[in-house]
A and B are shown apart, each in its own frame.
Chain A
Amino acid sequence: MSSDHRHAPGAPDIALRVEALESLLTEKGLVDPATVDAIVRYYEEEVGPLCGARVVARAWVDPGYRARLLADASAAVAELGIDGPQGEHLVVVENTAKIHNVVVCTLCSCYPWPLLGLPPTWYKSPPYRSRVVREPRAVLSEMGLALPHDVEIRVWDSSAEVRYLVLPERPPGTASWSEERLADLVSRDAMIGTAVARPPDGRSRTA
């Protein structure tokens, strides 16, 4: 694969097009660059997987909360001061010893932004979007998650109406852990379903 499309003959210079759009829209008074700055900063720095991890950790320590989360996720995340996806229904699907859930958006890139931030590159890639539906076990294995053959894999395809979040299993050996420590075991990928929660002796989240 060519490593740098910017120098390919005839390739459109996308950065220039975006710059041109911003200057035109700013001149027309349709956007304010400072607002654009603030939006970018918000999604880069403030909204991220930690929001989802807090929800998962609460569900692990509080059976009542877990039940509410599985029954009406949008209301349950609002209890923690987290907005649900705008205009869409949030559904939390629970992993068990026999069922593993994984989330995809086959048509584009729908994703529970308020809980996980913006999706990673691979989530938006054609191979993940098409293959995880057809051969989820192989894709998960290639991504480092080898599931036993007696575990059923359920693939949830996001839509305009519904966004999914996976509730991973609580790792063994964490019985006395605080909610805050538990949240540190919950990676973004565990809430998409391409990983499981880290074991308590695993490496801590560093970013």
Chain B
Amino acid sequence: MADRARPEVEGAGVLDAQGPAAPPRRNGELVFEAPWQSRLFGLTMSLHRAGRFGWEEFRTRLIQEIARWERDSPPGAPWSYYERWQASFERLLEEKGLCAPADLGDRVAALAARAPGHDHRHGESED
């Protein structure tokens, strides 16, 4: 569905003439720029719809996380909206007792140890 390759990092400049944050001139921009962003969004909405948390609970943490990033990140640090979303989501899951950080860390390590053929970092297309 992409008409051009999209980098995974969201750009920081609303004024970029081109690149990931270039202001689109028409409809039809990709909703998500990488598969992990759409999975993350879908996971969040799915749990919200299942009644695991209220949207405002998530939104409050997202606002805090974005503010924290804007306050603490060094100048020129690459901005990624969905990375902030991920951090907020992980925190909410921990607070709700739905996923402990240690369990997540273990699973990340297990996935990272997969055979090279399963290494998503070289096999995941950015369509």
Genuine A/B complex: yes
Would A39 and B45 count as touching, CB distance under 8 A?
Answer: yes
Q: Who on chain A is nearest to B109 by CB?
A: A20
Find out whether the CB atom of A194 lies under 8 angstroms from the CB atom of B47: no
A21 in the interface (beta carbon within 8 A) = yes
Interface residues of B in 1-57 (CB under 8 A from A): 7-15, 20-29, 31-36, 38-43, 45-47, 49-50, 52, 55-56
A2 at interface, CB cutoff 8 A: yes
Chain B interface residue count, CB cutoff 8 Å, equals 68
Q: Which residue of A lies closest to B3 (CB)?
A: A207
**Given A6-B8, A125-B10, also A25-B47 (CB < 8 A):** yes
**Chain B residues, Cβ within 8 Å of A62:** none
A6 contact set on B, CB distance < 8 A: 8, 121
Please name the residue on chain B nearest to A87 by beta carbon: B55
Residues of A within 8 A of B9 (CB): 2-5
Residues of A within 8 A of B10 (CB): 121, 124-125
Instruction: Please report the C-alpha to C-alpha distance between residue A118 and residue B43 in the assembled complex, in whole angstroms.
Output: 15
Determine the residue in chain B with the shortest Cβ distance to A116: B27
CB-defined contacts of B34 to chain A, threshold 8 Å: 15
| Pair B42/A36 contact, Cβ less than 8 Å | yes
Contact B39 A18 (CB under 8 A): yes
Q: B79 contacts A21, CB within 8 Å? A: no
CB distance from B37 to the nearest CB of A (A): 8
What are 24 residue pairs bridging A and B, where the CB atoms are less than 8 Å apart in the complex? A1-B76, A2-B9, A13-B112, A14-B83, A15-B121, A17-B90, A20-B104, A20-B108, A20-B110, A21-B89, A21-B90, A24-B104, A35-B46, A39-B41, A39-B49, A44-B31, A108-B62, A121-B11, A122-B14, A125-B10, A125-B13, A125-B79, A189-B24, A206-B28
Besides the contacts A24-B103, A188-B24, what 10 more A-B pairs have beta carbons closer than 8 Å?
A: A13-B121, A14-B82, A20-B107, A44-B31, A49-B27, A108-B59, A122-B24, A125-B79, A143-B14, A189-B25
